[in-house]
Amino acid sequence: MPPDSWPPSMLYRACPRAIAVPERWSRPQAKQKKRSGTVRHLRIVSRPFGLRRQRLCAAAAFASTVSFRSGPSVFKDQGKLSFDYLPDKMVHREQQTQRLFSLLRPIVEAGTSSNAFLYGPVGTGKTHTAKRFCLDFKRHASESDRAVDWDLVNCRQRMGDDAVLLKLIQHFDTHFPERGFSIAEKMETLRRHLEKHKLHFIVILDEVDALLKKSGADLIYSFARIAEETIAAKGNISMILISQRSNALEYMDRAALSTFRRSNVVEFPKYDRKELRDIVAVRVLLAMHPGTVGDDLVDLIADLGSEFGDARYAIELLE
């Protein structure tokens, strides 16, 4: 019986890591399956039945093409499929990387503060591009005898000004206590670290809209004041803000918003099918043994991922 005629229960048995929910499960049942560990990569979707079956068929075809249950592993380095893996080059994000360099080059050339706002849907490479850029930019700055460092804070995980500041201070002092200091004292501590190390610090605030909704723009305004008041030779601070929402900066008041001009915005559009195929093909070369994943499977994953333009989703299918 071909996979496209299998009932949902058979499809699920063929691929226990299926990427959609069999329609006979209710949402509470599906959530319970995920919590119990029965399904590791379960995505609860509410789309027409035909699309759910199509996705399950694709997952079943994938499971029958590559077996994870017996024989030697198909992976030569499964870590290359991890969400935390940072590629040496961000495929099809060269334009955004060059735009970031244009915005932040005054850091190296004059020691002045520069800021950028990155936005785009989930899985479009915003966070990884920012991290890859900062690593390369730090190396570029050192070649010009300019000390640059950076850190990233996920504002949804580090909720509030206090938690964000703590993460940044612990970049310099891992033993800094979590309690006992006010926000003003932490801000002054961060300033002293910048002056002590005489460096330009790039702060990446990922999912910044979570911070703006909870605490407003006071912290961003304080960072901007440090940039205005600090002599470049003693250290400085710049910001890269990241959000899925193009209008996230609307949560800022006028004083903080003046730090970000329209020209500081970098858009990350969804990947198209060709771009996703290139991304998946590169990860196959890095993560899989030769000959274990064919071009037809790469094409299939690109087809599935192109519906959302989500590279993270496409790479997850490989894993």
Same domain as 98, residue 54: no
Same domain as 245, residue 107: yes
Query: What distance in Å separates the CA atoms of residue 173 and residue 317, rounded to the nearest whole number?
Result: 39
pLDDT band with cut points at 50, 70 and 90 for residue 55: low
Same domain as 249, residue 139: yes
Neighbours of 218 (CB within 10 A): 16
Tokens encoding 43: 């995505």
What is the number of helices (H) and of strands (E) in the chain?
14, 5
207 φ/ψ sector (left φ>0, alpha ψ -120 to 50, else beta): left
Q: Is 153 exposed, middle or buried (0-12, 13-18, 19+ CB in 10 A)?
A: buried
| CATH code where residue 195 lies | 3.40.50.300
Q: Over 70: is that where the pLDDT of 53 sits?
A: no
Question: Residues 181, 162: contact at Cβ < 8 Å?
Answer: no
Same domain as 254, residue 110: yes
3-state secondary structure of 80: helix
pLDDT band with cut points at 50, 70 and 90 for residue 47: very low
Query: What distance in Å separates the CA atoms of residue 202 and residue 114, rounded to the nearest whole number?
Result: 9
Same domain as 101, residue 11: no
Residue 42 confidence (pLDDT): 38
Closest residue by Cα to residue 259 from 238, 274, 244: 238
Tokens encoding 316: 């997850």
Please give the average per-residue pLDDT across 71-92, as a whole number. Answer: 90
Rg of the chain in Å (alpha carbons): 23
Residue 223 lies in a domain: yes
Please give the average per-residue pLDDT across 88-99, as a whole number. Answer: 97
φ, ψ (nearest 5 deg) of residue 118? -105, 135
Query: What distance in Å separates the CA atoms of residue 110 and residue 33, rounded to the nearest whole number?
Result: 55
The total of structural domains in the chain comes to 2
What ranges in 37-181 are assigned the alpha helix state H? 49-65, 94-104, 106-109, 126-143, 161-172
Same domain as 189, residue 51: no
Same domain as 257, residue 193: yes
Of 19, 47, 65, the last residue of a domain is 65
Same domain as 20, residue 132: no
Going by the DSSP 8-state scheme, the letter that residue 269 receives in this structure is P
Q: Is residue 286 within a helix (H) or strand (E), and if so which, with residue range?
A: helix 273-287
Residue 84 lies in a domain: no
Residue 204 lies in a domain: yes
Range of the domain at 197: 94-267
Query: What distance in Å separates the CA atoms of residue 313 and residue 304, rounded to the nearest whole number?
Result: 9
Residue 181 lies in a domain: yes
Same domain as 229, residue 146: yes
Residue 210 lies in a domain: yes
Same domain as 105, residue 48: no
Q: What is the pLDDT of residues 139-184, one digit of tens each?
A: 999 999 999 999 999 999 988 999 999 999 999 999 999 989 999 9
